[in-house]
Amino acid sequence: MTTTRHARPARPDNRNAHVLRCPTRWSDVDENGHINNARLVGYIQEGIYDLFQHHAQAARESLFPAGFLIARHEIDYLEQLHHRPEPLLVRLSVERLGRSSAHVRVDVCRDPFTYMTARTVVVARDRASGRSRKLSSPERQFLSDYMSDRTAGTPAVPGPATEPPRITPKAMPQRKPKPLTARPVAVHQGGPRKLPLPARGSARSLCRV
């Protein structure tokens, strides 16, 4: 899901954020003269990979040994981004932790403006099945250190499951059945009734081409 808005001043540095300095490249520029939007998604990927795989603690403790999966990208393109010598600042903070996933906010900035904001769901991968798995305790602790100031120390608690209302026979309006009445049947005397044949030349075509 992608939307386009206007550039806004960068948020104050979150002390819990992981920051990657990412240079832009001339090859990232498209025919419109700005960084291609598909390449901007690559900056998100580089920031997530740097946090989950290249971080010193993640490498030292062998966190996410089978890697991770990207379950969702939600991106807001705020302004056109152009190639310059100054590197981009890719800031990552964890907004919420699930059973097997981390909801990560990514801000792509070049001070003093933020050019793109993304929310990405990263899922821990199981090596044997290739599918998602439960986050380990060390992985949860590692990701908790990068939770934003608003959500730090307040893990999400799932609310009670609610089911959509169901239509039951009692809730449906009941209609009284109409009484059956006998209808008179016309009887022709003298055998079957003959229908008159149409006159010649009076037949009309039912369909016209």
Please tell me the distance from the alpha carbon of residue 131 to that of residue 68, in angstroms, as a whole number: 9
Q: Domain spans of the chain?
A: 2-144
Q: Write down the pLDDT at residue 16.
A: 84
Mean pLDDT of 107-111: 91
The reply to whether CATH 3.10.129.10 applies to domain 2-144 is yes
CA dihedral 15, 20, 21, 27 (to 10 degrees): -150
Identity at 47, one-letter amino acid code: G
Burial, 18: exposed, middle or buried (Cβ in 10 Å; 0-12, 13-18, 19+)? Answer: buried
Structure tokens at 30: 């498209």
Residue 207 has pLDDT above 50, yes or no: no
Residues 6 or more apart in contact with residue 73 via CB below 8 angstroms: 1, 41, 44, 118, 119, 120
Instruction: Please say whether the dihedral angle defined by the alpha carbons of residues 157, 97, 150 and 45, taken in this order, is positive or negative.
Output: negative
| Residue % of the chain over a pLDDT of 70 | 64
Identity at 174, one-letter amino acid code: Q
Contact 70, 121 (CB under 8 A): yes
**Alpha helices in the chain, H assignment, sequence order:** 37-49, 56-60, 137-144
CA gyration radius, the chain = 33
57-61, 178-182, 183-187 — most confident range: 57-61
Average pLDDT, the chain: 78
Burial, 140: exposed, middle or buried (Cβ in 10 Å; 0-12, 13-18, 19+)? Answer: middle
Q: Write down the pLDDT at residue 144.
A: 95
Residue 96 has pLDDT above 70, yes or no: yes
Instruction: Name the band, by pLDDT with cuts 50, 70 and 90, for residue 163.
Output: very low
Please tell me the distance from the alpha carbon of residue 175 to that of residue 170, in angstroms, as a whole number: 12
Please tell me the distance from the alpha carbon of residue 22 to that of residue 118, in angstroms, as a whole number: 16
